[in-house]
A and B are shown apart, each in its own frame.
Chain A
Amino acid sequence: MEYDIKIQLDLHGVACPLNFVKTKLALEELNEGELLEVILDEGDAMLNVPRSLKEEGHRIVKVEPLGETFRVVVEKGSS
């Protein structure tokens, strides 16, 4: 399925919590309902970032494995 991605962010190699901070800053550039694509490392990044995004009211639309990383599509929530 194709998504209308507004911003792409490659956070491969970026550790917690900086990866979440960068994701959050990118989401601030978007309007509610628009999509961000972020590449996250397996392990701690995937354990923490989606959970923190959920707590901030954003929505995880799709998660797909990409080698040792994951492609995560996030929809900006109302803040």
Chain B
Amino acid sequence: MSDTEFDLAALRKVGMIQQKQKEYFAMRLHTVGGDFTSAQLQRVAEVAERYGRGQLHLTTRQGIEIHFVHHSHLEAARQALESAGITMGACGPRIRIVVACPGKLTCRWGIIDTKAIAHDLDEKYFRQETPHKFKLSVTGCPHNCAKATENDIGVMGGISPVWNRDTCTDCGLCVNICPTGAIQKNGEDYVLNEAKCINCSICTSSCPSGSWTVARRGYILWIGGTMGKIPRLGTRLGGLIETTDRLYDLIDRTIGYYRRNGRKKERFGHTIDRIGIEKVNEEILHGV
């Protein structure tokens, strides 16, 4: 069997990746934020046993790959998965599956509904073509468990705190637990250094007298993060974004900017470094 009998590019587009054992393929499955139902996992296991060698691989993007599926079984395996609501993933120069942490639905630190946002982004962008691979992540707060800063676009929940003098009992907890030393005591007042604040909510959730409260709540957008051969952490785009509409607008502008300016095989972060972060930020935030 020669390579030419497969349309490898078409197969890669739907997450079927030829292994070095050329008769065999890895089937990369679609997921949003790594969520599967128990029934779906059972079906994945059945398909791996029936059409593969019972060998599964958990990917770094919270996905699942079924390895060693013979090319003659790809279509049957795919149908068996789809009947359980499991669709195929993506490979190549396009938007990959969206990663997300559990977010505010279950995590005590979660500030945003990561799953809802991840589903919106998945619905809008998944598998669309881009100059090079393009990855999105949604993380509930600045603890950054879903590594928003290692993705081409990372959405992060965040809050902006404010101090209330009337209720403060001057215990000093905030000064001592702020992870960046953004809170300092100045005379009788506790003062927030906004340039140092990472919007994490540790002060507002810990303050014993409820004197640090949430003034604003929203999203922080990180752009241009990548791991791979030339790692680069994401750059923060602007301040706290207070509406989902504005968030989605900025994400749309960012992907559009990359499509217009990114070169083939150039990750978005490297496009940013080539053009200059100030120019890129300006065009995304204020461009047409």
Q: Does A pair with B?
A: yes
Please count how many residues in chain A sit with their CB below 8 Å of the partner chain's CB atoms. Answer: 15
Contacts A51-B205, A51-B206, A54-B208 given: A46-B171 contact, CB under 8 Å? no
Please count how many residues in chain B sit with their CB below 8 Å of the partner chain's CB atoms. Answer: 12
Closest to A54 in B: B208
Name the contact of A62 in the complex, choosing from B171, B202, B205, B209 (C-beta under 8 A). B171
Residues of A within 8 A of B175 (CB): 63
Within 8 A of A (CB), among B168-183: 169, 171-173, 175-177
Q: Say whether chain A's binding surface is mostly helix, strand, loop, or mixed.
A: strand
Name the contact of A70 in the complex, choosing from B169, B176, B206, B208 (C-beta under 8 A). B176
**Chain B, 190-212, contact with A by CB distance < 8 Å: what is the 0/1 string?**
00000000000010011011000
- B108 vs chain A, min Cβ distance (A): 9
Residues of A within 8 A of B202 (CB): 47
Residues of B within 8 A of A46 (CB): 176-177
Q: Say whether chain B's binding surface is mostly helix, strand, loop, or mixed.
A: helix
Q: A62–B208 contact, CB under 8 A?
A: no
- A23 vs chain B, min Cβ distance (A): 14
- B4 vs chain A, min Cβ distance (A): 57
Q: B206–A50 contact, CB under 8 A?
A: yes
Q: A63–B176 contact, CB under 8 A?
A: yes
Docked complex Cα distance between A72 and B202 (Å): 17
A60 on the B face (CB < 8 A) = yes
Residues of A within 8 A of B176 (CB): 46, 63-65, 70
Residues of A within 8 A of B171 (CB): 60-63
- B99 vs chain A, min Cβ distance (A): 24
Docked complex Cα distance between A27 and B163 (Å): 29
Within 8 A of A (CB), among B231-283: none
Residues of B within 8 A of A53 (CB): 208
Docked complex Cα distance between A61 and B176 (Å): 13
27 A-B pairs with C-beta separation under 8 A: A46-B176, A46-B177, A47-B177, A47-B206, A50-B173, A50-B177, A50-B206, A50-B208, A51-B205, A51-B206, A53-B208, A54-B206, A54-B208, A59-B208, A60-B173, A61-B169, A61-B171, A62-B171, A62-B172, A63-B171, A63-B173, A63-B175, A63-B176, A63-B177, A64-B172, A70-B176, A72-B173
